[in-house]
Amino acid sequence: MKKLSEQQRRFLKRQAERGNSISASSAGQRFVKRHAEEIKYAHEHHAFLSRTGLASQGHFNVPARTLRRVPILVPEVLSLKNNFDETIDCLEILRRSVLQENRSVMLYFDRVQVLEPAATLLLTAEIYRCRNLRAARTGHMVNGTFPDNKSTFLQLREMGFYRLIDVDDEFESQGPEDPDRPFFVPFRTFNSVNPEFAAAFCGLVTDSAFPMTDLALGRMVGALKEAMGNAEEHAYKIRPELPTMGGRWWVLGFIDPKTHEMMIIFCDQGIGIPRTLGIDLYDRITALRSLKLHPSDSNMIAAATELHRTSTGLSGRGKGFRDMKKFVDTCEDGELRILSSRGSYIYSKQKEQVLEYDQSIGGTLIEWRIRNPAIVEVEGA
């Protein structure tokens, strides 16, 4: 612990001269406690900057208010595929600091070089939740630096990252952009099923990637609407461990006109697919896959994609995952990836892969990628 500053010593001396001992003064005790915490936080922050090498970039010269924030270094590769543990660790520190400890944080994006869209969507959702569920005495509970890498900054801006979390992202344009370059349909978030948005979003994605029949486009819109409905009706039905914004979901699109590739990514912060399955669906899953008594999260996710209905019991529901898989089967290159709780399920061209992780992603994420469809029709019921 560092020594008291001259200001603090003078304060204590005045208190003693007035016969109001600091040990007997609640105001004085609060003063000492507050400044002790500030010293502790500043020491923690400076140690972090020294350890990560960010001190050499001038981050020591920051306002005292920033020093009181929990410092979090965003991984150089923010990815659920290629750097899962570090990415989830970053999210866990953010959640714990803000939602459990009620401490504001400082995210350092300085070293970020690779931003996987799915991982960025999860991070954006976490920042959005923290900023809306916890109020800071000054500023926001979550703040951060801009990436040093220009392309990374531009990617975040195009995704709508800064706009969604209410951060100024002004940047001088470097001339006209290539109209055929890959681009993102910015993040959007709602807390209920929004049919109009689903239709407009899917229409924009498919119009820019490849033409589809009305029936195929309708199936795509239906799959997205079902994901919205599952988030609203099931994801938050049981109270999660951390506070949430009930029914809230996020979506992001990616389009590459040259390769005719499209990607839709959807996530929520609910309890995860395995815990939302009712007893009747659990019995059907075990019958379908001959699973053990306590199947893994990944096996439960895989089996859930084969069900013809959800736990609502409503006709026409439960077809979203099946339609997504059918789209993948029509493509030269396609993939459906679902991460929920600690499990991961990946489907591509009649191939399946299941993975288990030590940590939970804190909800459900669906990534649906399609490139060069041989046919853009989905047959069957």
Note the pLDDT tens digit of each residue in 84-138: 999 999 999 999 999 999 989 989 998 999 999 999 999 999 999 999 999 876 6
Which of helix, strand or coil describes residue 378? Answer: coil
Closest to 147 in 3D by CA, of 123, 181, 179: 123
Mean pLDDT of 307-335: 70
Task: Report the distance separating Cα 80 and Cα 353, nearest Å.
Answer: 15
SS3 content of the chain, % helix, strand, coil (to 5): 45, 20, 35
Tokens for 237? 């039905």
Q: Is there a contact between 79 and 119 (Cβ–Cβ < 8 Å)?
A: yes
Asked if 297 contacts 343 with a C-beta cutoff of 8 angstroms, the reply is: yes
CATH architecture observed for domain 184-381:
2-Layer Sandwich (3.30)
The tokens of 113 are what? 């070089």
Residue 311 to residue 58: CA distance in whole angstroms: 55
pLDDT bucket at 377, cuts 50 / 70 / 90: low
Pick from 229-243, 294-308, 347-361: least confident: 294-308
User: Higher model confidence: residue 161 or residue 17?
Assistant: 161
162 CB contacts (<8 Å, ≥6 apart)?
Answer: 156, 168, 169
Dist CA 80 CA 280 (whole Å): 32
Cβ within 8 Å of residue 199, ≥6 positions away: 221
Lowest mean pLDDT among 30-44, 61-75, 198-212, 326-340: 30-44
Name 359's Cβ contacts closer than 8 Å, sequence gap at least 6: 85, 88, 89, 92, 342
pLDDT of residue 1: 37
If you ran DSSP here, which 8-state letter would residue 191 be given? Answer: S
Decide: helix, strand or coil at residue 361.
coil
Which distant-in-sequence residues (6+ apart) come within 8 Å of 302 by Cβ? 289, 345, 352, 354
Query: What confidence category does residue 317 fall into, taking pLDDT thresholds of 50, 70 and 90?
Result: very low
- Which of 318, 310, 314, 307 lies closest to 284, judged by CA? 307
Q: Are 100 and 242 in contact (CB under 8 A)?
A: yes
The HSE-up count of residue 17 (CA atoms within 13 Å, CB side) is 6
Better-scored residue on pLDDT, 364 or 219:
364
Instruction: Inform me whether the pLDDT recorded for 198 exceeds 80.
Output: yes
How far, in Å, are 196, 255, 345 from residue 232 at the CA level?
Answer: 16, 27, 22
196: pLDDT strictly greater than 50: yes
Exposed, middle or buried by CB within 10 Å (0-12, 13-18, 19+), for 158? middle
Does 26 have pLDDT greater than 60? no
Higher-scoring residue by pLDDT: 260, 245: 245
Q: Mean of the pLDDT values across residues 162-190?
A: 74
Percent of residues, the chain, with pLDDT higher than 70: 74
Structure tokens at 94: 């953010």
**Each residue's pLDDT tens digit, 276-316:** 875 455 555 555 555 555 678 888 888 888 765 444 444 34
